[in-house]
A and B are shown apart, each in its own frame.
Chain A
Amino acid sequence: GNSVTQMEGPVTLSEEAFLTINCTYTATGYPSLFWYVQYPGEGLQLLLKATKADDKGSNKGFEATYRKETTSFHLEKGSVQVSDSAVYFCALNSGNTGKLIFGQGTTLQVKP
């Protein structure tokens, strides 16, 4: 079945460090891939998405490229800020009912 695997957290970085959060997936067909972010006490917000192979999603300085050959969708940011501290979820949607399959989430803590 379909599944998403994220790197274990928590990830602790200093401000202005480079961020990578790994995400790999298993899916039939041609899924769409998403990164959601959850700030403390809030719901999930869409961060970026990619809908076909080699697409790059980007938003707020974050980027992720849909790599079909490695079944990956790693999240990157060149210089993190304290305000980026949150839980990040990778997810895929491969069907026609909109159902999302989520990874377990990766907690990011950025220290000043």
Chain B
Amino acid sequence: NAGVTQTPKFRILKIGQSMTLQCTQDMNHNYMYWYRQDPGMGLKLIYYSVGAGITDKGEVPNGYNVSRSTTEDFPLRLELAAPSQTSVYFCASSYQGERNQPQHFGDGTRLSIL
């Protein structure tokens, strides 16, 4: 049971570099989400997707882009890395978007931008 898999687990970037955080799930979930977790701040939603080909902004989308070409994959791209994007990033998925459906989380990607 792989669930939600995120790669890489750790990464250090220089200011201005770009990278893609990978997320894949094997539960055939339609809904997928990207969050960032800053110390003492809880999780903030960056982007989400309700199915292949459909994405929408969350609370803190600036500086990020996403795509959803398949049900399984939901990569998050940072185009011009900035120190403010230093954070732990979590990908999650749920079967449907109904309010009683829990989300399943990956183990996170810890990203530092120096």
The residues of A with any CB-CB pair to B shorter than 8 Å are 4, 30-32, 34, 36, 41-46, 49, 51, 89, 93-100, 102-105
Chain B residues closer than 8 Å to A93, beta-carbon distance: 99-101
Q: Could you show 16 A-B contacts with beta carbons less than 8 Å apart?
A: A30-B99, A32-B99, A32-B100, A43-B4, A43-B108, A45-B105, A49-B100, A97-B56, A97-B97, A98-B33, A98-B94, A98-B101, A98-B103, A99-B48, A102-B43, A103-B42
Chain B residues closer than 8 Å to A44, beta-carbon distance: 43, 90, 92, 103, 105
| B33 CB, min distance to chain A CBs, angstroms | 7
Q: How large is the interface on B (under 10, 10 to 19, 20 to 34, 35 or more residues)?
A: 20 to 34
A97 touches B31 (CB 8 A): yes
Of B98, B100, B104, B108, chain A has the most CB atoms within 10 Å of the CB of: B100
- Could you say which of A43, A89, A99, A100 contacts B106, with CB atoms under 8 Å apart? A43
- Could you say which of B41, B97, B107 contacts A43, with CB atoms under 8 Å apart? B107
| B53 CB, min distance to chain A CBs, angstroms | 16
Chain A residues closer than 8 Å to B96, beta-carbon distance: 98
Q: Which residues of chain B from 1 to 49 have a CB within 8 Å of any chain A CB?
A: 4, 31, 33, 40-45, 48
Given contacts A45-B105, A89-B42, A103-B42, contact A94 B90 (CB under 8 A): no
| B19 CB, min distance to chain A CBs, angstroms | 20
Which chain A residue shows the least CB distance to B88? A43
Kindly state the separation between the CA atoms of A46 and B101 in the bound complex, as whole angstroms.
11
Residue B50 interfacial (CB < 8 Å): yes
Q: Which residues of chain B from 66 to 114 have a CB within 8 Å of any chain A CB?
A: 90, 92, 94, 96-108
B48 touches A98 (CB 8 A): yes
